[in-house]
Amino acid sequence: MNIIKIKNVEIGKGIPKICIPLTGKNREEIIEEMEIVKKSNPDLIEWRVDFFEESDNPERVCEMLGTINDSFKQIPVLFTFRTKEEGGEKSIMSEDYVKLLKEVSERRLADIVDVQVFWYGEKSEDFIKELKETGAVVLASSHHFEGTPSVREMSDALYTMENRGADIVKLAVMPQSGKDVCALLEATMERKEHSNKPRITMSMGQSGMLSRICGELTGSCVTFASGKQASAPGQIKADELKKVLGDIHDILK
Ligand SMILES: O=C1C[C@@](O)(C(=O)O)C[C@@H](O)[C@@H]1O
pLDDT digit string (tens) for 76-117?
Answer: 999 999 999 999 999 999 999 999 999 999 999 999 999 999
Residue 83 C-alpha to ligand 1 middle, in angstroms? 12
Arithmetic mean of pLDDT, 215-241: 96
Residue 253: pLDDT band by 50, 70, 90 thresholds?
A: confident
Within a domain: residue 207?
yes
pLDDT at res. 61 = 98
Is pTM beyond 0.95 here? yes
For residue 122, name the pLDDT band (cuts at 50, 70, 90): confident
Domain count, the chain: 1
Range of the domain at 128: 14-237
Q: How far is the CA of 202 from the centre of ligand 1 (A)?
A: 8
Query: d(Cα 198, Cα 65) in Å, to the nearest integer?
Result: 25
In a domain, 253, yes or no: no
- 57: confidence class by pLDDT, cuts 50, 70, 90: very high
Structure confidence by residue, pLDDT tens digits, 67-76? 999 999 999 9
Q: The CATH number of the domain where 72 resides is what?
A: 3.20.20.70
Which phi and psi (to 5°) does residue 222 adopt? -135, 145
Q: Among 17, 143, 144, 242, which one carries the catalytic annotation?
A: 143
Q: Is 143 a catalytic residue?
A: yes
The band of 48, judged by pLDDT with boundaries at 50, 70 and 90, is: very high
Average pLDDT in the chain: 97
Would residue 194 show up in a list of annotated catalytic residues for this protein? no
- Residue 200 maps to a domain: yes
CA nearest ligand 1 atom 4, residue: 232
Residue 20 in any domain: the answer is yes
What is the interface pTM, i.e. ipTM, of the complex?
Answer: 0.98
Residue 1 pLDDT exceeds 90:
no
- What percent of the chain shows pLDDT beyond 90? 98
120: confidence class by pLDDT, cuts 50, 70, 90: very high
Given a contact cutoff of 8 angstroms between Cβ atoms, the answer to whether 113 and 81 are in contact is no
Is 3 domain-assigned?
no
| In-domain check, residue 26 | yes
Q: Which amino acid would we find at residue 15?
A: I
> Which pLDDT score, from 0 to 100, does residue 112 have?
98
Within-domain flag for 8 = no
Q: Is the Cβ atom of 80 under 6 angstroms away from ligand 1?
A: yes
The span from the CA of 8 to the CA of 213, in Å, is: 22
**Each residue of 179-219: pLDDT tens digit?**
999 999 999 999 999 999 999 999 999 999 999 999 999 99
Q: Is residue 4 in some structural domain?
A: no
Which has the closest alpha carbon to 62: 107, 1, 5? 107
Q: What is the pLDDT of residue 115?
A: 98
